[in-house]
Amino acid sequence: MKKITTKSIQSQLILYFTIAILMPAVITSIVGVKLIYNQIITRAETKTLSDLNSAGEIFRNKIVQIESIARLTSARSLIVKALIENNKIFLQKDLLRTLTRENLDVLTILDKNGHLISRSRKFEPGEHSFIEDKFVRRVIDTKRIVKGVDIVSREYLENESEQLADQAAMEIISTLKAKPRTEQKETSGMMLKAAVPIFEDNGKFVGVLIAGVLLNRNFEIVDKIKEVVHEGENYHGSEIGTATIFQHDLRISTNVKNQDGSRAISTLVSEEINEEVLQYGNRYVGEAFVVNSWYISAYEPIRDIDNNIIGILYVGILKKPFEDVLRNTLITFLSIALGGIVLIILIAARMAKRISTPLKRIEDIANKIADGDYHQEITITAPREIERLAGSINRMAKELETEKRELEEWGNKLEVKVLERTDEIKKIHAQLFRSEKLASLGKLAAGVAHEINNPLTGILTNSSLLLEDLPVNDPRREDVDVIVKETIRCREIVKRLLDFARQTKPQKQLVSINEIIENIILLVRNQTSFRNIQVQKNLQENLPEIMADRDQIQQVFINIIINASEAMSKGGLLSISTVILPTNNSMIITFKDNGPGIPESIREKIFDPFFTTKEQGTGLGLSISYGIIEQHGGDINVESSLDLGTTFTIQLPINSIESE
Ligand SMILES: Nc1ncnc2c1ncn2[C@@H]1O[C@H](COP(=O)(O)OP(=O)(O)O)[C@@H](O)[C@H]1O
Ligand SMILES: [Mg+2]
């Protein structure tokens, strides 16, 4: 089973179709040939039997013909007169004339006792008696015509003529199937005979006339049968119809030919026919091998006047024409079957191709889909079922593709979401951290500043007084001057610390951010540190005023601008811009420099208090700014790339009035 399923559609179709056509073809051929054979043979046998009837008729007609001649001759008055007058010379001459004219072998006149008066061929005195002759006896007894077939002895024939005796004599040729005979020679003959009574005018019985024809080596009857029944038909040079007369079992007259073309006489009938026809007296119909061919044959017994079987009449038709019809029929049947098979193979191959080619395509594309390539569409013309299959696969591929895309989108979204959240968490975390740090640092710084402030004031007052008291050229003045200056610097730091620590609630009022920026630019432009720096502003017109602490915001902007100028100590470009973000209902202020940028490693730390990269830096500028912006509900961010510069972005809410 398994093996069959792995075969190709094509071979399976061819196999099954071939079986489907071969089986009925073979059965039809066998049955048909058998039927036809039976039909033909039955027909042939029926025909042979009817031929046999015709042959029998011809055979009997010949007897009747002989009888007629005998009757007419016996009735002639000259003959009767010569018989009464015993004019043997006249009789002999007259009989010979008739014999020759009518093609008879025997024509003899006897007296009323059966003694010879005259015979056509030999003139002999009347010592010879015919009283033993069955025919003569019966005529004398009954005074009626007697006719039929008779077996006559060699002596009988010799009396008639030596030549006639020789015509009858035959050396028997033995054949395989025949029942052998003891004697090797047949000397007697078979004769068609008619014996008629001769009457005087007054009706007195005066004699007997015998007319006869010897059948041995006389082919008139058999050839006539052939002519009449088969019209001398030929089949490939062989005569279709044949007829034979047997004397007992011996062929004495026939038109069956030997190989050399001579007539096949002197042979014996087969044992089977011998038994069936000669012994049992039956008719026989069947196939028989005669001399060298098969014949459909019919045999019937020939009987004498006492109804004894003395011979056989045979007719046969050549079997070959029938066999040929049969063979041609068979060839036709098989050719049709063969043609059918060829046709089936062609059709099956085509059908299989129509099925397997699109299937192969579907398979290829299905494999591609399985490998993840969903951009596949099967376009084929194929039987409806296969087209439907292709349609299903197309749908499946499309659905797979959509689902895959959705999955990918989901994945991407998820990733973005996770990143966003992580960022947010990081930011919040950093903010919290920074706020907490600022708050605790603020407290600490406030305490420390407060404690330092008083001593510092004392130091400053006393050192200033000391400086005033010292003479102008006193060498200690320089040192005291350093003390005064450093103390002032310390006080400055402490002040800043306090500013940072105070984290005072902003004193908000409506301010214009653009105006604050303009003022600062005016303020810093003439500073020496800005000499090489070009300031470019890009301020949005009609920027709404917002609620903010002017001083604190100003401080933030100054911190950032100063940082930028310090970063671009060799000169550069500072761009300041303002813009409204309508969506957020907030404004964005950016400060962009083209300084060296902030390295990635410290970018996170610049808002930390006391973080600085400068020798003289406090590290408080950005952390204070951060706190101020936070207090205003805004946001401060930095973007920086090395060599390109740094951009600080401050976002401030516009609706600060409502939020107050
Ligand atoms: N525009 C800028 N370009 C490069 N670095 C900057 C810029 N602004 C701030 N920084 C970095 O941030 C640090 C912290 O600044 P800040 O808090 O103002 O303290 P300080 O200016 O006293 O160092 C600076 O030391 C500097 O390294
Ligand atoms: Mg600074």
For residue 652, what is the domain's CATH number? 3.30.565.10
**Which residues touch 97 (CB under 8 Å, ≥6 apart)?**
none
The helix (run of H) or strand (run of E) holding residue 310 is strand 309-318
Residue of 620, 622, 643 best suited for mutating to test ligand 1, as the one with most atoms within 8 Å of CB: 622
Instruction: Tell which of 468, 503, 538 closes a domain.
Output: 503
One domain for residues 494 and 520: no
Cα–Cα dist 241/232, whole Å: 7
User: What number does the ligand 1 atom closest to the CA of 620 have?
Assistant: 17
pLDDT value for 660: 43
Question: Looking at the domain assignment, is residue 98 inside a domain?
Answer: yes
pLDDT value for 346: 87
Which one, of 6, 7, 9, lies nearest residue 17 by Cα? 9
Cα–Cα dist 46/52, whole Å: 10
Nearest ligand to the CA of 607 is 1
Query: How far away, in angstroms, is 611 Cα from ligand 1 center?
Result: 8
pLDDT value for 2: 42
pLDDT by residue (tens digit) across 204-236?
A: 999 999 999 999 999 999 999 988 887 777 788
Question: Looking at the domain assignment, is residue 245 inside a domain?
Answer: yes
Helix, strand, coil: what percent of the chain each, to 5? Answer: 55, 20, 25
Question: Looking at the domain assignment, is residue 347 inside a domain?
Answer: no
pLDDT value for 425: 77
Cα–Cα dist 462/178, whole Å: 178
Is the pLDDT assigned to residue 620 strictly greater than 70? yes
Instruction: Tell which of 287, 316, 332 closes a domain.
Output: 332
Question: What would the mean pLDDT of 192-196 be, rounded to a whole number?
Answer: 96
Is the pLDDT assigned to residue 4 strictly greater than 50? no
Parallel, antiparallel, or unpaired: how do β-strands 533-539 and 572-581 relate? parallel
Count of alpha carbons within 13 angstroms of residue 598, beta-carbon side: 22
Query: How far away, in angstroms, is 622 Cα from ligand 1 center?
Result: 7
Cα–Cα dist 522/528, whole Å: 13
Give pTM, 2 decimals: 0.54
One domain for residues 496 and 509: no
Nearest ligand to the CA of 618 is 1
One domain for residues 635 and 560: yes
Long-range (24+ apart) CB contacts under 8 A made by 481-488 are: 483/459, 484/460, 487/456, 487/459, 487/460, 487/463, 488/460
One domain for residues 287 and 311: yes
434 band by pLDDT with thresholds 50, 70 and 90: low
Total number of domains in the chain: 3
One domain for residues 300 and 413: no
131 band by pLDDT with thresholds 50, 70 and 90: confident
- The three state secondary structure string of 13-38 is HHHHHHHHHHHHHHHHHHHHHHHHHH
Cα–Cα dist 629/556, whole Å: 8
pLDDT by residue (tens digit) across 251-266?
A: 999 988 888 888 989 9
Question: Looking at the domain assignment, is residue 388 inside a domain?
Answer: no
pLDDT by residue (tens digit) across 493-507?
A: 777 777 766 656 778
Residue of 492, 559, 563 best suited for mutating to test ligand 1, as the one with most atoms within 8 Å of CB: 563
pLDDT value for 223: 92
Query: How far away, in angstroms, is 546 Cα from ligand 2 center?
Result: 26
Q: Pick the residue with more confidence: 196 or 457?
A: 196
Question: What would the mean pLDDT of 556-581 be, rounded to a whole number?
Answer: 93
Instruction: Tell which of 309, 332, 355 closes a domain.
Output: 332
Residue of 557, 573, 606 best suited for mutating to test ligand 1, as the one with most atoms within 8 Å of CB: 606
Question: Looking at the domain assignment, is residue 368 inside a domain?
Answer: no
197 band by pLDDT with thresholds 50, 70 and 90: very high
What range defines the domain where residue 429 resides? 394-503
Following DSSP, what letter does each residue of 89-111 receive, concatenated? HHHHHHHHHHHHHHT-SEEEEEE
Q: Pick the residue with more confidence: 449 or 55?
A: 55
CATH number at residue 231: 3.30.450.20
Q: Give backbone dihedrals phi and psi of 17, rounded to 5 degrees, phi first.
A: -65, -40
The residues that bridge with 511 in the sheet, in sequence order, are 546
CATH number at residue 436: 1.10.287
Question: What would the mean pLDDT of 633-641 be, rounded to a whole number?
Answer: 93
Question: Looking at the domain assignment, is residue 291 inside a domain?
Answer: yes
3-state SS, residue 113 = coil
Which one, of 196, 169, 215, 195, lies nearest residue 58 by Cα? 215
Question: What would the mean pLDDT of 624-628 be, rounded to a whole number?
Answer: 88
One domain for residues 319 and 415: no
* Rg (the chain; Cα; Å): 76
The residues that bridge with 120 in the sheet, in sequence order, are none
pLDDT value for 3: 45
3-state SS, residue 208 = strand
Question: What would the mean pLDDT of 75-87 be, rounded to a whole number?
Answer: 92
Is the pLDDT assigned to residue 656 strictly greater than 60? no
User: What number does the ligand 1 atom closest to the CA of 568 have?
Assistant: 3
**Highest mean pLDDT pick, 20-24, 162-166, 289-293:** 162-166
The helix (run of H) or strand (run of E) holding residue 444 is helix 384-469
One domain for residues 499 and 518: no
Question: Looking at the domain assignment, is residue 92 inside a domain?
Answer: yes
Distance from the first to the final alpha carbon of the chain: 90
Cα–Cα dist 358/365, whole Å: 11
Averaged pLDDT of the chain: 87
658 band by pLDDT with thresholds 50, 70 and 90: very low
pLDDT value for 62: 95
Nearest ligand to the CA of 623 is 1
- DSSP secondary structure letter of residue 285: E
127 band by pLDDT with thresholds 50, 70 and 90: low
One domain for residues 472 and 601: no
Query: How far away, in angstroms, is 540 Cα from ligand 1 center?
Result: 27
Q: What percentage of the chain carries pLDDT values higher than 90? A: 42
Query: How far away, in angstroms, is 434 Cα from ligand 1 center?
Result: 17
Nearest ligand to the CA of 611 is 1
Q: Pick the residue with more confidence: 627 or 655?
A: 627
Query: How far away, in angstroms, is 621 Cα from ligand 2 center?
Result: 4
The residues that bridge with 575 in the sheet, in sequence order, are 536, 592
One domain for residues 175 and 92: yes
Query: How far away, in angstroms, is 606 Cα from ligand 2 center?
Result: 10
3-state SS, residue 1 = coil
pLDDT value for 32: 80
Q: How many CB atoms lie within 10 A of CB 645?
A: 22
One domain for residues 187 and 214: yes
Is the pLDDT assigned to residue 380 strictly greater than 90? no
- Ligand 1 pocket, residues with Cβ under 6 angstroms: 559, 563-564, 567, 593, 595, 598, 606, 611-614, 617-623, 646
Query: How far away, in angstroms, is 656 Cα from ligand 2 center?
Result: 28
Following DSSP, what letter does each residue of 522-555 receive, concatenated? HHHHTSGGGTTEEEEEEEPTTPPPEEE-HHHHHH
Nearest ligand to the CA of 561 is 1
Which one, of 218, 220, 196, lies nearest residue 61 by Cα? 220
One domain for residues 133 and 37: yes
Burial of 151 (0-12, 13-18, 19+ CB in 10 A): middle
Question: Looking at the domain assignment, is residue 443 inside a domain?
Answer: yes
One domain for residues 191 and 47: yes
pLDDT by residue (tens digit) across 524-534?
A: 877 788 889 99
Compute CA distances 542 → 512, 537, 634, whole Å: 10, 15, 20
pLDDT value for 108: 93
166 band by pLDDT with thresholds 50, 70 and 90: very high
